[in-house]
Amino acid sequence: MVFSAGFFVRDLLPSPSQVSAGGPFPLLQDVISIVETTYLRGSPDETTTQYSAIRGYLSGLGDPATYFVEPPATQVESDALAGVYGGIGVRIHTTTTGEFRLTPFADSPAEEAGIHDGDLLIKIDGTAVEKGTPISAIDVRLRGEVTEGNGVDLEVTRRGNPMSFFVPFDVIIVPSVTYRILDEDEHLGYIQITDFTNRTPAELRDAISSLRKQNALAVIVDLRNNGGGLLQEALTVAGEFIDDGLLLTERQRANEKEYQDTEGGALTDLPLVVLVNDGTASAAEVVAGAIRDYQRGMLIGQQTYGKGTIQQIIQLADKSSVHVTFAEWLTPLGNTIEGIGLTPDIVMIPSSDGADVELAEAIRQLQSSITPSVTTAQDG
C-alpha cells in the first residue's frame, strides 16, 4: 500500500454525520461543511464552489462533449457561432514558447491601427498577459461594445521591439467561407469552410455564384481542421451539393428524427472533391458523410475525427452554459461515425515539408474528370 507524504491527525474531528444534516447530495454537503469549518486557508466563494461541483458532476458522465462553460467564454462562443461581434478583429495563437501571437483580420481595426501578423501580445490596458492564460480569456478582453472612443490599449513586441497601440472596437464579421480560382488550374474552384456559423450558408452560395461566373468547371471543398458548429447550417450546406434525399438521422433517447434535403442546390452538377483530415469533426463530418454516401464527390485526406453526437447549448441563469449530448446522428446510409470517423476514398500521408499533397491530389483527380469537357468547349 502506498501513502502520500504528510502529517495526519486522526479522531480529532467530528464524523460527517455530525457536521451535516443531510439533504440532496449528502456526501458533497458533508465535504463542503468540513472544508468550511476546518480547511486552513478558508473555503472558496459560492460561485466557485458551484462551478467546481458542476464540472465534477458532468465529468462523471464520461462524455467529453458534455461540459460546463463560464459566462465570458459562453459569450465568446455565442459570438463565434453568430460570426459577428464587437472587437478589434484578431486571431490569437499560442507559440511553442507559450507567448501569444496576433494575426489581424484584413481591414480590421487591429490591422488599421498597425498590428502586424506575428506581433506578440504583452499587455492589455496596461495589465500583463501571463503565459498559460486561456486564449478565450484573452479574447474576451479584446472585445467590447462598439461606441465612440471605446477600445483597448495594446502593448506588443515586434522582432523584440516593444510597441504600443490603441485599437478601437468595431463590428467584426468573421468569414467562415473563403474561395478562389486556383492558380494551378483556372478551371478549378477552391472553397474552404472553416466552421459552421449562422452566416455559412449565405457565404457558401456567394462563393459558388462567384466561382461559376469565373467559369469554374469543378470544385474542391476544404473541410480540413473544421471542428464543426451549427447542425442546421451544416445540413443547409450539405443540401447545396446534393439534389434531394435524406441528409441525416438523429437518434434521441426515445425517438428518431430524419432531416430531408429539398430538391435542387447551388452546386449539384459540377465534379467535386472534399478534403478532410483528423481535425474534420462534427458538423463538418455531417457534410462530408452525406457527400460520400451519395457518391456526390470523392473524399481525400486522412481519417476524420469521429464525432457522431449532437449537443444542445443551454444557458444558465448567470449567463454560463452547459453543452449536453442529447442525440447521436447517422449518415444517409445509416452509418454511425462516433469514435470511428470517415475513411477517405484516397488516404494521403501529410507531407513533412509542408507541401499540400492533399490539394495536389485533388487537382489531379479533378483535372482528369474535366479534361474531356474542356477539350470539347475549346473545339467548339
Q: Is residue 150 domain-shared with residue 184, that is, in the same domain?
A: no
Q: Is residue 159 domain-shared with residue 228, that is, in the same domain?
A: no
Catalytic hit among 108, 307, 320, 321: 307
Distances (CA, A) of 302 to 89, 272, 276: 32, 17, 6
pLDDT in tens, 111-130: 999 999 889 999 999 999 99
Residue listed under C-alpha cell 437518434 = 251
Higher pLDDT residue, 108 or 375? 108
In CATH, what number is assigned to the domain containing residue 299?
Answer: 3.90.226.10
d(CA 375, CA 93): 46
Residue listed under C-alpha cell 480590421 = 108
Q: Is residue 167 domain-shared with residue 204, that is, in the same domain?
A: no
CA 300-302-305 angle, 5° bins? 120
d(CA 356, CA 142): 33
Residue type, 271: P
Q: Is residue 167 domain-shared with residue 182, that is, in the same domain?
A: no
DSSP state of 128: E
Q: Is residue 159 domain-shared with residue 220, that is, in the same domain?
A: no
Tell me the residue ranges of DSSP E strands in the chain.
Answer: 67-69, 84-87, 90-94, 100-104, 120-124, 127-128, 151-158, 161-168, 170-173, 177-181, 188-193, 218-222, 245-251, 256-261, 272-276, 298-301, 309-315, 321-330, 346-347
d(CA 154, CA 39): 41
Q: Is residue 142 domain-shared with residue 225, that is, in the same domain?
A: no
In which band, very low, low, confident or very high, does the pLDDT at 190 lie, cut at 50, 70 and 90? very high
Q: 67 in a domain, yes or no?
A: no
Q: 75 in a domain, yes or no?
A: no
Cα dihedral 78/83/84/89 (nearest 10): 110
Q: Is residue 185 domain-shared with residue 291, that is, in the same domain?
A: yes
Return the SS3 of 371. helix
pLDDT of residue 211: 97
Q: Is residue 204 domain-shared with residue 118, that is, in the same domain?
A: no
Return the SS3 of 48. helix
In which band, very low, low, confident or very high, does the pLDDT at 96 lie, cut at 50, 70 and 90? low
The verdict on whether 213 is a catalytic residue reads: no
Mean pLDDT (whole number) for 51-60: 94
For every residue of 184-216, DSSP letters joined together read T-TTEEEEEE--B-TTHHHHHHHHHHHHHHTT-
Q: Is residue 27 domain-shared with residue 94, that is, in the same domain?
A: no
In which band, very low, low, confident or very high, does the pLDDT at 15 lie, cut at 50, 70 and 90? low
Q: Which three cell numbers stand for residue 22?
A: 443531510
Q: 207 in a domain, yes or no?
A: yes
Q: 332 in a domain, yes or no?
A: yes
The verdict on whether 15 is a catalytic residue reads: no
pLDDT in tens, 59-73: 999 998 899 999 988
In CATH, what number is assigned to the domain containing residue 142?
Answer: 2.30.42.10
Catalytic hit among 4, 131, 209, 282: 282
pLDDT in tens, 194-220: 899 999 999 999 999 999 999 999 999
375 pLDDT higher than 60: no
Q: Is residue 247 domain-shared with residue 120, that is, in the same domain?
A: no
Q: 50 in a domain, yes or no?
A: no
pLDDT of residue 29: 87
pLDDT in tens, 76-86: 788 777 777 89
44-62 core/surface letters (b: 16 or more CB in 10 A; e: else): eeeeeeebeeeeeebeeee
Task: Check residue 159 and give left, alpha or beta (phi > 0: left; psi -120 to 50: alpha).
Answer: left
Q: Is residue 139 domain-shared with residue 190, that is, in the same domain?
A: no
Higher pLDDT residue, 73 or 11? 73
Q: Which residues contact 309 (CB under 8 A, 6 or more apart)?
A: 63, 65, 325, 327, 328, 329, 338
Relative to beta strand 245-251, strand 256-261 is antiparallel
372 pLDDT higher than 70: no
Query: What is the gyration radius of the CA atoms in the chain, in angstroms?
Result: 26
Structural domain containing residue 195: 177-371
Q: 71 in a domain, yes or no?
A: no
Mean pLDDT (whole number) for 161-179: 92
Q: Is residue 98 domain-shared with residue 247, that is, in the same domain?
A: no
Lowest pLDDT segment from 17-26, 124-133, 255-264, 334-343: 17-26
39 pLDDT higher than 60: yes
State CA 278 to chain mean position distance. 13
d(CA 192, CA 207): 10
CA 183-240-342 angle, 5° bins? 80
pLDDT of residue 3: 47
Q: Sort 270 into a burial class: Cβ within 10 Å, 0-12 / 13-18 / 19+.
A: buried
Q: 379 in a domain, yes or no?
A: no
Q: 380 in a domain, yes or no?
A: no
Question: What is the number of structural domains in the chain?
Answer: 3
